């Protein structure tokens, strides 16, 4: 390759996902009043011990995230 490439694209960009969600969004209101910490205990039997991998695809992002997606789809 001859010469130098003058264009160096940014390979990583830091963004704050919270800034994309409005303060009055429905799930922000739910998060303030609903404590989902009990979900981890209830779903513990669904996880393979010692491997850190869920046994069900729906729990792939964690039990609390799954419930949050469920609530978002049924509002």
pLDDT tens across the length of the chain (75 residues): 566 666 667 777 788 888 998 999 988 888 899 888 888 888 778 777 776 655 555 555 666 777 777 777 765
Please report whether residue 5 resides in a domain.
no
Domain that residue 26 falls in:
19-73
> What's the rounded Cα separation, in Å, for the pair 45 and 55?
9
DSSP secondary structure letters along the chain: --S-------S-----GGGGS-TT-HHHHHHHH---THHHHHHGGGBPTTT--BSSGGGTT-HHHHHHHHHHHT-
Number of structural domains (the chain) is 1
Whether the pTM exceeds 0.85: the reply is no
Please report whether residue 35 resides in a domain.
yes
Please report whether residue 12 resides in a domain.
no
């Amino acid at each position: 390759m001859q010469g130098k490439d003058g264009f160096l694209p940014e390979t990583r960009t830091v963004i704050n996902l919270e800034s994309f969600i409005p303060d009055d969004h429905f799930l922000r209101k739910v998060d303030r009043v609903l404590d989902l910490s009990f979900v981890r205990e209830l779903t513990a039997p669904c996880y393979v011990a010692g491997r850190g991998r869920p046994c069900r695809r729906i729990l792939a992002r964690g039990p609390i995230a799954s419930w949050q997606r469920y609530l978002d789809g049924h509002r």
